[in-house]
């Protein structure tokens, strides 16, 4: 057959296909000994080739047909490691995605199959947020594969609404100081910094002495999650104290040698990998077992707001990019509502000129 038409041929008892696209020859087994079935497969494959040639639909190679979702997730894991994003939390989500989807061929994952997965997990009383986290990593693995030309398309993967499931956690000053006392020493400054600045967990982990200029900490664009660099002057009792203590902890002694830690926050010179276990233990001992480290971000936002710090300035410290995200984190507890109504009552009474009628007397 001419090059453009492709052909079928025998290898032992199995028929194989051979065809060309843009000067590249593709060969693949039909996994059948039936010649008619093999020719039918060739005809369908040539339709895909011709669709690509006229720009109707990108051609998916035989190699792509063999990729499993495990393969995609492994590539995503390697990409996370390359970008220094392989946190314990991310690896945990990747593991769950691999357990649930790893054995499925990438081309075999359909929207219907995803929806059935969602239904099964909802029936098992899993929260929409937890389901979304798993599917998020599956979705990202397909996106990466397409960017690298390993696949040409991805299935639609539904995202569940998390409305009504927003975190309401909030940390009062006294509660945080109690937690701080139960944390291992190497984590105390790490968590205090998060409590004061509202900076994200991953950003704090990545802070290096190269970011420090005098008493100013400068986060570069590439280090910030929102892509926008910012500066944090290490002033005030807490931040100045952190800077002093971390400078003292910069020299790490091991056996008879002394090394200089590159990271501001570290554990015996090594990067802090995962604080969740230590954090949960400290919170439990302090009587706040359901508090998350991320709740410190909300605490910082509210403290700056109540201190009269302008929203634009506070956002440059915490790293909030939009007003909508700021509003989401600015939790208004019952105490604020009570104070607001009491102040409004006094205001109304003041404008009434003292002509206020008491009820019940």
Quickly list DSSP for 11-69.
Answer: ETTEEEEEEEETTEEEEEE---S-HHHHHHHHHHHHHHHHHHHTTSSPPPPHHHHH-BH
Per the structure, the count of domains in the chain is 3
Q: Work out the average pLDDT over 247-260.
A: 88
- Within a domain: residue 161? no
**CB contact set of 183 (below 8 Å; sequence gap of 6+):** 191, 278, 279, 282
The half-sphere exposure of 177 on its side-chain side, counting CA atoms within 13 A, is: 4
Last residue of a domain, one of 44, 59, 74: 59
d(C-alpha 68, C-alpha 142), whole Å: 11
Task: Kindly list the distances between the CA atom of residue 337 and the CA atoms of 168, 172, 243, 302, 344, in Å, as whole numbers in the listed order.
Answer: 15, 16, 37, 14, 11
pLDDT of residue 31: 84
- Within a domain: residue 361? no
Clarify whether residues 191 and 274 are in a common domain: yes
Q: Which of 63, 30, 32, 24 is nearest to 44 (CA)?
A: 30
Task: Kindly list the distances between the CA atom of residue 222 and the CA atoms of 203, 211, 214, 356, in Å, as whole numbers in the listed order.
Answer: 10, 12, 21, 60
**Structural domain harbouring 23:** 3-59
Q: Which of 58, 22, 62 is nearest to 42 (CA)?
A: 62
State the burial class of residue 60 (Cβ atoms within 10 Å of its Cβ: 0-12, 13-18, 19+).
Answer: middle
pLDDT of residue 257: 87
Please provide the DSSP assignment of 77-107 as one string: HHHHHHTT---HHHHHHHHHHHHHHTTSBGG
| pLDDT single digits (tens) 298-340 | 888 877 777 777 767 777 677 665 555 555 555 455 555 566 6
- What does pTM read for this prediction? 0.52
Clarify whether residues 272 and 202 are in a common domain: yes
- Within a domain: residue 13? yes
Clarify whether residues 118 and 39 are in a common domain: no
pLDDT of residue 108: 87
- Residue 240 confidence (pLDDT) above 70: yes
Clarify whether residues 192 and 313 are in a common domain: yes
Clarify whether residues 122 and 262 are in a common domain: no
More confident: 242 or 59: 242
Clarify whether residues 80 and 191 are in a common domain: no
Mean residue pLDDT of the chain comes to 82
Question: What CATH number does residue 208 fall under?
Answer: 1.10.443.10
d(C-alpha 283, C-alpha 175), whole Å: 9
Clarify whether residues 182 and 314 are in a common domain: yes
Clarify whether residues 177 and 309 are in a common domain: yes
Clarify whether residues 115 and 214 are in a common domain: no
- Within a domain: residue 349? no
Sign of CA dihedral 256, 262, 265, 269: negative
Clarify whether residues 183 and 255 are in a common domain: yes
Least confident of 19-23, 89-93, 99-103: 19-23
Clarify whether residues 178 and 48 are in a common domain: no
- Within a domain: residue 358? no
Clarify whether residues 55 and 70 are in a common domain: no
Task: Kindly list the distances between the CA atom of residue 87 and the CA atoms of 43, 137, 170, 178, 284, in Å, as whole numbers in the listed order.
Answer: 47, 14, 24, 27, 23
d(C-alpha 196, C-alpha 207), whole Å: 15
pLDDT of residue 361: 43
- Within a domain: residue 196? yes
d(C-alpha 85, C-alpha 147), whole Å: 19
Task: Kindly list the distances between the CA atom of residue 95 and the CA atoms of 76, 100, 209, 327, 328, in Å, as whole numbers in the listed order.
Answer: 12, 9, 33, 33, 30
Summarize the chain as % helix, strand, coil (round to 5): 55, 10, 35
């Amino acid at each position: 057959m001419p090059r453009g038409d492709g052909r079928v041929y025998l290898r032992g008892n199995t028929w194989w296909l051979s065809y060309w696209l843009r000067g590249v020859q593709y060969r693949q087994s039909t996994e059948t000994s039936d010649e008619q079935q093999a020719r039918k497969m060739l005809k369908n494959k040539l339709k895909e080739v011709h669709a690509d040639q006229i720009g109707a639909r990108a051609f998916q190679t035989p190699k792509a047909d063999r990729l499993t979702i495990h393969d995609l997730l492994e590539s995503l894991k390697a990409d996370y490691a390359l970008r220094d994003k392989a946190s314990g939390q991310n690896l945990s989500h990747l593991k769950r995605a691999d357990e649930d989807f790893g054995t499925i061929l990438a081309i075999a994952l359909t929207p219907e199959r995803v929806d059935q997965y969602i239904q099964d997990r909802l029936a098992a009383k899993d929260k929409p947020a937890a389901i979304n986290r798993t599917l998020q990593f599956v979705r990202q693995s397909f996106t990466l594969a397409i960017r690298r030309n390993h696949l040409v398309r991805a299935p639609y993967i539904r995202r569940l609404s998390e409305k009504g499931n927003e975190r309401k956690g909030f940390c009062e000053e006294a509660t945080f100081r109690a937690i701080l006392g139960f944390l291992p020493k190497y984590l105390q400054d790490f968590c205090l910094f998060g409590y004061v600045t509202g900076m994200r967990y991953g950003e704090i982990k990545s802070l290096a002495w190269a970011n420090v200029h005098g008493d100013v900490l400068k986060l570069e664009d590439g280090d910030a999650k929102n892509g926008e660099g910012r500066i944090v002057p290490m002033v005030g009792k807490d931040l100045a104290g952190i800077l002093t203590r971390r400078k003292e902890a910069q020299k790490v002694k091991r056996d008879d040698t002394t090394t200089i830690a590159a990271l501001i926050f570290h554990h015996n010179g090594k990067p802090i990998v995962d604080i969740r276990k230590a954090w949960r233990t400290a919170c439990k001992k302090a009587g706040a077992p359901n508090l998350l480290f991320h709740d410190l971000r909300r605490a910082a936002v509210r403290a700056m707001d109540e201190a009269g710090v302008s929203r634009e300035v506070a956002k440059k410290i915490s790293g909030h990019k939009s007003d909508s995200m700021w509003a989401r984190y600015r939790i208004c507890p019952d105490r604020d509502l009570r104070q607001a109504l009491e102040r409004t009552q006094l205001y109304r009474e003041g404008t009434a000129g003292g002509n206020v009628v008491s009820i019940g007397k």
